[in-house]
């Protein structure tokens, strides 16, 4: 479909913009980067970028959705293969730990989005409601099938697993950002094994 004109097709250009925005936000945070800088990194004009994404908020939402889809895909893949939602959560955390700048941005955004007027509030509300609902259903099914030993309320257990994931990420950045990310996933695995023993 190339016209030979030197312009990348729309979808490829969008992916390039998202990749550069991810890199830039990961380095300097959402507020620390301008649309102009992301456009320059892509070798296009500010107007050229705004043709694909109407605003920096629009770009942020596209990036959040892309990251959520990647997380979901990895989670579901590991869950299908291993039958373990615990291994699936650890796999997602391990993948995200490889990009600490982005993970730091997500940790900050989720907390900022507590405010109902925040542009990402509805996104985070929906994502947290969905992952909690799905995880609770998976845990309840495992209890019915006898593959999960603990009889703890799956509603509370799902909340606890998600809380461990988020709370350990926050501590990783606040206490010891230079530590090996393996320590965080090790701690997560140890906590999971205690919870489901």
Binding site for its own copies (CB under 8 A): 29, 104, 107-108, 110-115, 124-125, 128-129, 132, 150, 152-153, 156-157, 159-160, 162-168, 170-171, 173-175, 186-187, 190-191, 194-195, 197
Residue with smaller CB distance to its own copies, 52 or 136: 136
Residue with tokens 């190339």: 2
Smallest separation, CB 160 to its own copies (Å): 4
Smallest separation, CB 89 to its own copies (Å): 12
Alpha helix positions (H), 113-178 = 121-145, 154-175
- CA nearest to 112, candidates 57, 185, 184: 57
* Calpha distance 132→153 (Å, rounded): 13
Residue with smaller CB distance to its own copies, 98 or 194: 194
Residue with smaller CB distance to its own copies, 38 or 110: 110
Residue with smaller CB distance to its own copies, 53 or 123: 123
Smallest separation, CB 149 to its own copies (Å): 11
Residue with smaller CB distance to its own copies, 8 or 97: 97
For 88, counting Cβ atoms within 10 Å of its Cβ (0-12 exposed, 13-18 middle, 19+ buried), the class is: buried
* Calpha distance 115→134 (Å, rounded): 25
- 3 state DSSP class of 146: coil
- 3 state DSSP class of 45: coil
Smallest separation, CB 127 to its own copies (Å): 9
């Amino acid at each position: 479909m190339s016209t030979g004109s030197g312009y990348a097709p729309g979808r490829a250009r969008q992916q390039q913009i998202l990749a550069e925005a991810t890199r830039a936000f990961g380095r300097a945070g959402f507020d620390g980067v301008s649309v102009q800088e992301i456009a320059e990194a892509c070798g296009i004009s500010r107007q050229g970028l705004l043709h694909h994404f109407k605003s920096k908020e629009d770009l942020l939402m596209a990036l959040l959705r892309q990251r959520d889809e990647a997380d979901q895909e990895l989670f579901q893949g590991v869950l299908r293969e291993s039958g373990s939602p615990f291994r699936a959560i650890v796999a997602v955390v391990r993948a995200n730990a490889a990009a600490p700048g982005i993970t730091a941005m997500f940790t900050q955004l989720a907390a900022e989005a507590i405010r109902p007027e925040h542009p990402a509030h509805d996104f985070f509300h929906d994502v947290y409601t969905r992952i909690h609902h799905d995880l609770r259903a998976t845990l309840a099914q495992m209890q019915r099938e006898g593959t999960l030993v603990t009889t703890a309320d799956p509603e509370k257990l799902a909340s606890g697993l998600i809380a461990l994931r988020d709370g350990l990420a926050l501590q990783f950045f606040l206490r010891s950002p230079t530590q090996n990310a393996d320590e965080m996933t090790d701690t997560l695995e140890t906590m999971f094994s205690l919870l489901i023993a």
